[in-house]
Structure 1
Amino acid sequence: MAEQAGDEPTGDDLEAVASAVLTASRLLVAVSARSLAAVEDRVTLPQFRMLVVIAQGEATLVRLADRLGVNPSTAMRMVDRLSATRLVRREVNPNDRRETLVGLTPEGRRIVEEVTARRTAEITAILGRMPPEQRRALVVAMRAFSEAGGEPPAGGSSPLGWPDLPPA
């Protein structure tokens, strides 16, 4: 039986839970878009995702493509564009001269930090409007949701809490 508007969800109605998650995801997408607004003339959302992955440490093109779920040729075009705008740099892998490593330039790192700070500030403001007991419940629920979806737990040295990439 579907829950009525205003009823407390029981968690048994998967449609109601999915609807709540979809609504929250729209909010998070809007927050993400607003956080990129100041740099949208320089970086698209997919390019920003690549910058965040590269912020974990230098990576090969194949590893970037795999982490982003794109073809290596798509990753190469993204790297070409980001390199042309001086947000990433390429260098030969000293351990395997057949590979190219991609890393952030200082300007690329600044953009990741700036956008992440804006996103964090807006999410923090939204969370501040929730009662503490709901925030605690949200932490438990989001951890369970992330775990069920196979997302590694936050932590480590990433600006967004992503784990470090495995060595090349």
Structure 2
Amino acid sequence: MLSFDPIDAARTQWVERGWVEAADGMAAVTSVIRAHAILMRRVDAALQGSGVTFARYEVLMLLGFTRHDALPMRAISSRLQVHQSSVTNAVDRLEAAGLVARSPHPQDRRTVLVGITPEGARVARECTRRLNDEVFGALGLSEQDTTTLVEVLARMRAGAGDFELG
């Protein structure tokens, strides 16, 4: 463990080189990227042994939250905000593991539905328990800090066109 904050040290270097107007932004971006790495390491550890990655877990949870436990691939891509090829890859692997199943759409022959299987629902529940215990409920931040962080990042995401603030 370092005895100083390397991101703050880099911020100081930015200021000393005359990049004052960008120093806080550099520190913010670098901090978010570092926090992402820390969180992904914790997520990966919590999911270890489950047979799913976080991306696949997100697909399982999305399907489990739907009214009929199934969605078209296009809807999965849109709701998870990832490219359709990434969804196809995740669904292929989940299907091979018996956690989801593809079926034809009853009204649109061109559309394939992806549904969660009972085993997929069981894996999703177990992964959720682990993630809640080891990551989501153990961020090391106060409730107020967590709320503020979510609000700030939501404004940033909305400003980038991720979604429309209501």
Task: Give the alignment's TM-score, normalised by structure 1.
Answer: 0.65
Q: Structure 1, unaligned stretches of length 5 or more? A: 6-11, 153-168
User: Would you say 1:79 and 2:91 are equivalent positions?
Assistant: yes
Give percent identity, aligned residues only.
Answer: 26
Give the distance between the partners of 2:38 and 2:120, measured in 1 at CA. Answer: 26
Give the distance between the partners of 1:125 and 1:141, measured in 2 at CA. Answer: 15
Q: Look up the match of 1:145.
A: 153
Matches within 5 A, 1:8-87: 13-39=24-50, 42-57=51-66, 58-66=70-78, 67-72=80-85, 75-87=87-99
Moved over 3 A (4+): 2-5, 65-68, 74-78
Query: How far apart are residue 93 of structure 1 and its match?
Result: 1.9
Letter in 1 for 2:117: T
Higher RCO (CA 8 Å, separation ≥ 6 residues) = 1
Assess, with a 3 A threshold, how the Cα gap between structure 1 residues 95 and 120 changes in structure 2: closer, same or farther.
same
Assess, with a 3 A threshold, how the Cα gap between structure 1 residues 77 and 14 changes in structure 2: closer, same or farther.
closer
Q: Structure 2, unaligned stretches of length 5 or more? A: 1-6, 11-22
Q: 1:107-132 CA deviation, whole Å, 9 max, x = no partner?
A: 111212211221111232343xx5x4
Greater C-alpha Rg: 2
Give the distance between the partners of 1:71 and 1:93, measured in 2 at CA. Answer: 18
Check conservation: 1:35, 1:116, Cα contact below 8 A: no
Number of equivalenced pairs: 139
Query: How far apart are residue 136 of structure 1 and its match?
Result: 0.9
Check conservation: 1:88, 1:108, Cα contact below 8 A: yes
- What is the alpha-carbon root mean square deviation over aligned residues? 3.1
Assess, with a 3 A threshold, how the Cα gap between structure 1 residues 24 and 79 changes in structure 2: closer, same or farther.
closer
Q: In proportion to residue count, which structure has more helix? A: 2
